[in-house]
Amino acid sequence: MLKPNSSNRLQLYDLAGAQPQRRFSPYCWRTKLALAHKSLAFDTIPWRFTDKDAIAFSGQGRVPVLVDGDRIVFDSWTIATYLEDAYPARPSLFRGDGGRTATRFINTWADTVVSGGISRLIITDILGVLDEKDRSYFRETREKRFGATLEAVVADRQARVAGFRQSLEPLRAVLAMQPYLGGEAPLYADYIVFGCFQWARCASPFQLLLTDDPVWAWRNRLLCAFDGLAQKALGFPV
């Protein structure tokens, strides 16, 4: 199924909230930073959870969906590997096959530990920034996933945030040795984990990180990357 794209810029379907410029999906942030890393010009198309028809051409119902000419790619990991293979002359996201396979572990760690941990701290705040038409969909699907009301999920978050910070120790230990997961400069591994924090920053005023945490400093470096692509995004200055 093809979606014609007459522009020579890539198009990204990007999750938005009630305000069209509020773009908070961690997976879409991974893709946006990967596109910036590859110096690929792209336009974003705001999309809401219930806009299933708008991306039906991709054969599934979630974003990110990337349209690159006549190529349609979805799922942030698949998009990253697509970009790496389709644009090999541009800066590498993985720096080799060994980097690609090891980064896959960082992706599963981020999805389980970081996204999982953050969602239990901010999910009611996410509900608060959603477009009106998405709210019941979001509450129903997430409450089913958690087996609890969203309000119960975030209960006692001030007490639990220390445990979340502790769970970041493997990242912190790497950052004690080098400025990025990618070494001296960021790679896709950094964008994977950063996407989780950018999701929180765009949707929630809750302070996840202490300002003396090396993870805070790393996040700030990534906020400033690509002329402040992430920093300029509508969010909360935490």
Q: Which stretch binds its own copies (CB under 8 A): 6-14, 180-188, 199-207, 225-233?
A: 180-188
Binders of its own copies among 109-168, rule CB under 8 A? 109, 111-113
The helix (run of H) or strand (run of E) holding residue 14 is: strand 10-15
Can residue 78 be called a binding residue for its own copies (CB under 8 A)? no
Minimum CB separation of residue 192 from its own copies in Å reads 10
Q: Helices in the chain by DSSP H: which ranges?
A: 26-37, 76-86, 97-109, 115-129, 135-146, 150-154, 157-167, 169-175, 188-203, 214-228
The gap from C-alpha 10 to its chain's centroid, in whole angstroms, comes to: 18
179 forms part of the interface with its own copies (CB under 8 A): no
Mark the segment that binds its own copies (CB under 8 A) among 7-15, 131-139, 175-183, 212-220: 175-183
| Nearer residue to its own copies within complex by CB, 105 or 140 | 105
- Cβ partners under 8 Å of residue 226, min gap 6: 33, 36, 37
Using CB under 8 A, which of 59, 91, 163, 170 touches its own copies?
Answer: 170
26 near its own copies (CB under 8 A): no
DSSP 7: S
Distance of alpha carbon 31 from alpha carbon 218, whole angstroms = 19
189 binds its own copies (CB under 8 A): yes
Find the binder of its own copies among 182, 196, 201, 203 (CB under 8 A). Answer: 182
Q: What whole-number distance in Å separates Cα of residue 55 and Cα of residue 211?
A: 39
Residues at the site binding its own copies, with contacts judged by CB under 8 A: 92, 94-106, 108-109, 111-113, 169-171, 173-174, 177-178, 181-183, 187, 189
